Amino acid sequence: MSNRKRKHGIFAVNGDLVALSSNKEEVQKGCMPIGAALDMIFNQMRIGGNRPSTIESYEYIIKQFVDVCQINYVEDIGLEKLYHYLDVLNVKPATKLIRMKSIKAVLSKFYNNGWIKDRFWSNIQIKIDKEVKKGAKESDIYKLLQLIDQTTFIGFRDAVAIKLMYKTGIRIRTLGELRERHIDFEKLCMNLDGSTLKNLKFLKLPIDEELAEMLKMLINLNDGIRAHYGMDNKNVFITQNGLAMNTSKSSNCAISKQLNKYSKRFGLENINAHAIRRAYAKRLHDKGASIAIISKALGHSDLAVTTQYLDLDVEEVAKDLREFL
């Protein structure tokens, strides 16, 4: 057997362990090393076409769970370990819910591979009070665009980003993944392939002439900055040093940080990428777009998520429904 290390993600697994883990008799005895199991799971996810950012997120959360609960073998995982992990986490219930979903997803893959006999985690529920997040006010968005110093590269880049997010509703991470090839200036649209979107589906979004001209100007500025710093990328939104912004699984990119600074500097309470995206959805609805169309534009797979984005007033809903009586 080879002693070479196979390195995938956060675990380095000895070749002997991989061979051991693939032996059905040894697995039935309950001696599947957790590192070997996770290495195989993440390989399956890569082969299955899961996004690298999704795998990175799972790896981070599972590593934390394994470290906190001192888990060495798959058989060590049980309800007691899961509750202990949740108990020691010093985070908000909403964050616990997200992390528990990731752990459950990985445990489900363990179950599918036959390493765990029961779905003992199914009954673990984390109750949270759902906070309805408001969209940014259109007046605040345009006020911000007026206050930003667009005579600087960073100011102009941020203004283009804000206007693009408000006019198209794209996520901040998609913004960071946007390449020049995604923009069709002749037909005034963005052709977003699955690699840039959360749901991995192709999406075509229109842009207006004003936004197209701003994007052309930004691309010209980018060329000068990349040439100066010797950078080679085709990202539409880059840092002042010519670097791509999306360098990790975090959505807290340069523009996201800038929005936080602007919010504090100019006293605008609800200015962030997500609030701007919600404002886009509300603007479409106010102009008469159906929820189905809005859902498609946002790249949602569930209409329920879209209705949450819209945060419709009770009286507003009643007024709209009256038209169908």
pLDDT digits (tens, 9 = 90+) for 142-197: 999 999 999 999 999 999 999 999 999 998 988 988 999 999 999 999 998 866 66
CA count, 13 A, side-chain hemisphere, 241: 4
Regarding whether 187 and 81 lie in a shared domain, the answer is no
The chain-wide mean pLDDT, for the chain, equals 84
pLDDT at 237: 95
Q: Which bin fits 303, alpha (ψ -120 to 50), beta or left (φ > 0)?
A: alpha
Regarding whether 144 and 105 lie in a shared domain, the answer is no
Residue 19's domain comprises 5-112
Please indicate, yes or no, if residue 168 is contained in any of the structural domains.
Answer: yes
pTM across the whole model: 0.61
Lowest-pLDDT range of 52-66, 271-285, 287-301: 287-301
Q: Which of 62, 94, 112 is the last residue of a domain?
A: 112
Regarding whether 154 and 63 lie in a shared domain, the answer is no
Regarding whether 159 and 81 lie in a shared domain, the answer is no
Regarding whether 144 and 78 lie in a shared domain, the answer is no
Cα 262 to Cα 13: distance, rounded to the nearest angstrom: 46
Regarding whether 86 and 214 lie in a shared domain, the answer is no
Regarding whether 150 and 97 lie in a shared domain, the answer is no
- pLDDT, one tens digit per residue, over 252-285 is 588 999 999 999 999 998 999 999 999 999 899 8
Regarding whether 192 and 62 lie in a shared domain, the answer is no
Confidence of residue 94 (pLDDT cuts 50, 70, 90): confident
pLDDT > 70 fraction of the chain, expressed in percent and rounded: 81
Domain count, the chain: 2
Regarding whether 108 and 154 lie in a shared domain, the answer is no
Please indicate, yes or no, if residue 221 is contained in any of the structural domains.
Answer: yes
Please indicate, yes or no, if residue 130 is contained in any of the structural domains.
Answer: no
